[in-house]
Structure 1
Amino acid sequence: MSHPSASELTGRLPGAVLERFQRGLNRVWAGAAESGVESARFVIAVSGGPDSMALLALAAVSCSGRIVAVTVDHELRPESRAEAAMVADACAALSVPHATLTPGRPIAGSSLQARAREARYAAIEAWAAKQGLALVLTAHHADDQAETLLMRLNRASGLAGLAGIRASQPMGDMVLLRPVLDWRRSELRAVVEAAGLPWVEDPSNMDSRHDRSRIRALLGGAPELDPVRLAASAKYLGDAETVIERLVQRLWDEHWRGPGQPFDVQRELREVRRRLIRRAILATRETLAVTEPPFGAGANVEPLLDALEAGSAAVQGGVKVDAVGGGWVFTAAPPRRPL
């Protein structure tokens, strides 16, 4: 099968579509790097699906000479090698450098999609670092955002989770940029069809064993649920998340003095206290070399907050927290007495 060249794409894609993509790229670009967007170099994550192939077409015209494409072959399906080769052939016709990456070890176990996603980003980050690149474009769109919001609502996620997919997101040593986050899946399909590029459908997208597939089917059968409006709600929640995080950072900078010193934030709203107490436990563990029991940034700290509100001391994550007059005091928890 012959593939179009970059010059042929320019004639096939409407100017309004290219202008819309450039506006989206400019929006997500803000603060991502010191250089101007006109001179930036990008890595494009291209799976071979219609969304990422549409992104490839848009970027090949708008960012000509400044993009490289990567495809991560998870080796989970017999067809994956041929699909990566298809992307490579399309990129060659567009004069876009391309690399196929494979995970360092086989992906197995439960939550296969989540494990594959983690392995994919890890592989891209490692490869991009070797190339001296840090900006990665992905083709997440409004339908993805709506699905993510509904999935996280169903899991009783807090505000940070409900903020959904961010248009610009640091991840390790790279920054993920999502310039088509306000596009519909159908609009990207129209782009790839107009471009004349091939694509493949991943059968796992229709596998009802996966949460996202079930939510996608739910949305497809409920026209009264508008993915664009749901995605807009996620953006508003993301804006609120940014405001709260800035407040939390300011209070942290003003009041945290380290383990053993009063942390005077007990009069803040509970959501703010929730975030600050997690930070304080993590900082105390790091300073005092506390490693057990495990404790993560998303740990449930509600019982701990309840105890502190009642004026009682409590222990979590190997850290003892005392409610004193001047604030909370964080120290290493005493060792447990043998039974």
Structure 2
Amino acid sequence: MARWCERCAARPLKVAVAYSAGADSTALLLAARQRWPDQLVALHVHHGLQAAADGFESHARRFCALHGIELRMEHVQAAHEPGQSPEDAARLARYAALARLAVDAGADCVLLGQHADDQAETLLLALSRGAGLPGLASMPERFERAGMCFGRPLLDVPASVLRSWLLSEGHAFVDDPSNTDTRFTRNRIRAVLMPAWEACFPGFRPMLARSARHAAQAQRLLDELAALDLAQTGVPPQIARLQALSRDRQTNALRHWLRSSAGVAAATAQLDELLDQIEACTTRGHRIHLKVGTGHVEREGGRLRYTPAL
């Protein structure tokens, strides 16, 4: 954690910890208290998605009072929209609430308790979905959302180490019953795949974390290449200049353009079809029209255009 803070928040005015009252966030909160005893605030988000949430909130109040830690809380409605998973809805609501609470508390950053097991599960989940480099890069150590800096200083620490330390020191925490619900894919990975990997490859978590870092580094290089290519093709891209690039570089540039300009992640099949249409675009009247995300990529004169859904 000290390394992360030297790079990301060397002289913070105030550090916030996302505190769910579970083992991971409890260990992070206590570690942060040791480092910043007078600059710390705990943030607790009540999702209202399960009956146990009230108990989490009560425990958080008692624990922070016991240790003299400032606590700020917010209740959110994390119901998911049609076509949105409950997990995604809860995550978006949580980050938005954490950012609001941190700003109100005058904090410079929010620390999150995800650890090496979470990173390994994220990579295995990405592999099972055939993800590209952005997915294989898993969870970044630092990122910004809703105008707030977030950090994950425990990504190299196994969950067992955190839990063993808490138990040896006699610190109380709560167990979220939803973490054992195997209706959720991540929980099935935790219950079935992780023990199998451990049996075959003891101590595999740091290796998967290393692979995730390699993927993140490779993606950063591809983003730099895409920026160089888009500087030549223009934004939105000129079709003729795109055609001068190799197919792989066209793919990379188009992915970057759609992600950075429209917030859209194009599927592999969609990009393949778009590249075929671009290759066939050799006459003035040739039409390009392809659904990507909720909108469409179209030809407008000599350029591409992304039109979001109304």
Q: Offset at 1:215?
A: 0.7
The CA distance in 2 between the partners of 1:236 and 1:283, in whole Å, is 22
Whether the 8 Å contact between 2:64 and 2:70 is mirrored in structure 1 is: yes
Determine the structure 2 residue equivalent to 1:220.
Answer: 195
The partner residue of 1:329 within 298, 303, 307 is: 303
1:239–1:278 CA distance, 2 compared to 1 (3 A): closer
- Match of 1:301, SS? helix
1:197–1:69 CA distance, 2 compared to 1 (3 A): same
Whether the 8 Å contact between 2:112 and 2:151 is mirrored in structure 1 is: yes
Which stretch has the larger CA shift, 177-186 or 62-71?
62-71
1:279–1:199 CA distance, 2 compared to 1 (3 A): same
- Match of 2:200, SS? coil
The partner residue of 2:279 within 309, 321, 324 is: 309
Residue deviations 1:280-317 (CA, integer Å, cap 9, x gap): 56788x7xxxxxxxx82345322001222344652124
1:1-339 matches, within 5 Å, as 21-23=1-3, 25-26=4-5, 30=7, 32=8, 37-103=10-76, 105-108=77-80, 111-217=85-191, 218-222=193-197, 223-225=199-201, 226-258=204-236, 261=238, 264-278=241-255, 280=257, 296-299=264-267, 300-311=270-281, 313=286, 314-316=288-290, 317-321=295-299, 329-331=303-305
CA root-mean-square deviation: 2.7
1:61–1:239 CA distance, 2 compared to 1 (3 A): same
Give the aligned length.
Answer: 291
1:303–1:167 CA distance, 2 compared to 1 (3 A): same
The CA distance in 1 between the partners of 2:299 and 2:219, in whole Å, is 26
Q: Which amino acid aligns with 1:240?
A: A
State the TM-score, normalizing by the size of structure 1. Answer: 0.77
1:303–1:44 CA distance, 2 compared to 1 (3 A): same
1:283–1:187 CA distance, 2 compared to 1 (3 A): closer
Residue deviations 1:56-81 (CA, integer Å, cap 9, x gap): 11111012211111111111222211
Q: Which amino acid aligns with 1:248?
A: A
Residue deviations 1:132-154 (CA, integer Å, cap 9, x gap): 33411001111111110111111
- Match of 2:144, SS? strand
Q: Which amino acid aligns with 2:92?
A: E
Whether the 8 Å contact between 2:20 and 2:45 is mirrored in structure 1 is: yes
1:116–1:332 CA distance, 2 compared to 1 (3 A): closer
Whether the 8 Å contact between 1:280 and 1:330 is mirrored in structure 2 is: no
1:68–1:214 CA distance, 2 compared to 1 (3 A): same
Q: Which amino acid aligns with 2:264?
A: G
The CA distance in 2 between the partners of 1:270 and 1:96, in whole Å, is 55
Tell me the percent identity: 31
Residue deviations 1:157-199 (CA, integer Å, cap 9, x gap): 1111110001111222112111111000111112322342211
